[in-house]
Amino acid sequence: MTKAPRALTRQALHHAAGELASRDAVLAGVRERLGAPPMWGRRPGFATLVRIILEQQVSLAAARTLYRRLDTHLGGLTPERVAASSTSSLREFGLTRQKAAYCHGLALRVQDGRLDLAAAARGPDEAGRSALLAVPGLGPWSVDIYYLMALRRPDVWPTGDLALAVAIRQLKRMRRLPTADEQCRLARRWVPWRSVAARMLWAHYLEARGQYSADPGP
């Protein structure tokens, strides 16, 4: 078994997809149909965390619309610009009261130094994750997605991701959706490439709905 790098590269992703396919017949089928999955990476930092907050419990399309609307009207999603906006003004762009409060609170923490995103990315993952989990609005799923997508850690399993649950049920012909604990147990066989396994399952989920593109996108 190849040791995973700290941050996933495209070369490592392609290698990992092949290794996973050799160990798991279900993922082998996904790779045969779709090839290695896209990287689906995001730029580390405040704007990506805002986008992840917006994606909670809504479709990716709806979250993308909100994100672009905020970005356009604020002239860029920076901690300073979001902190300077009141939660009521953020709600005018379509955010719920709760998400407006989360985004505003995150901006204040980054602006005043209580949350150092660069230090979180450079330091031990355990310390960085603890710092992010201390922020209201950033739960385990949100932090998992940030570490998987933005920091490109190779062995993260997004806790309780609905699309992954649907993909697992379809591919393994399960009668019901696997619980979060069941997903985590199933994902243990994909160590140290759980982030790549998640990307492969997301690719299947999107392809089954006619929404898949090999283009890595924004």
- Under the banding of pLDDT at 50, 70 and 90, the label for residue 4 is confident
Q: Give domain limits for the chain.
A: 10-40+155-208, 46-150
Report the predicted TM-score, pTM, of the whole model to 2 decimal places. 0.93
pLDDT digit string (tens) for 90-105?
Answer: 999 999 999 999 999 9
Task: Report the alpha-carbon distance of residue 105 to residue 145 in Å, rounded.
Answer: 19
pLDDT digit string (tens) for 71-87?
Answer: 999 999 999 999 999 99
Domain 46-150 has CATH 3.90.1150.10: no
Task: Report the alpha-carbon distance of residue 147 to residue 133 in Å, rounded.
Answer: 12
pLDDT digit string (tens) for 110-157?
Answer: 999 999 999 999 999 999 999 999 999 999 999 999 999 999 999 999
pLDDT digit string (tens) for 201-218?
Answer: 999 999 999 988 875 543
pLDDT digit string (tens) for 34-45?
Answer: 999 999 999 999
Query: What is the reported pLDDT for 215?
Result: 59
**Residue 163's closest CA among 192, 217, 204?**
204
User: Residues 36-65: what's their mean pLDDT?
Assistant: 93
Query: What is the reported pLDDT for 1?
Result: 66
Query: What is the reported pLDDT for 218?
Result: 38
What number of other Cβ atoms are within 10 A of residue 10's Cβ? Answer: 12
Topology of the domain covering 10-40+155-208? Endonuclease Iii, domain 2 (1.10.1670)
Residue pair 148/158 in contact (Cβ under 8 Å)? The answer is: yes
Residue pair 77/48 in contact (Cβ under 8 Å)? The answer is: no
- Under the banding of pLDDT at 50, 70 and 90, the label for residue 58 is confident
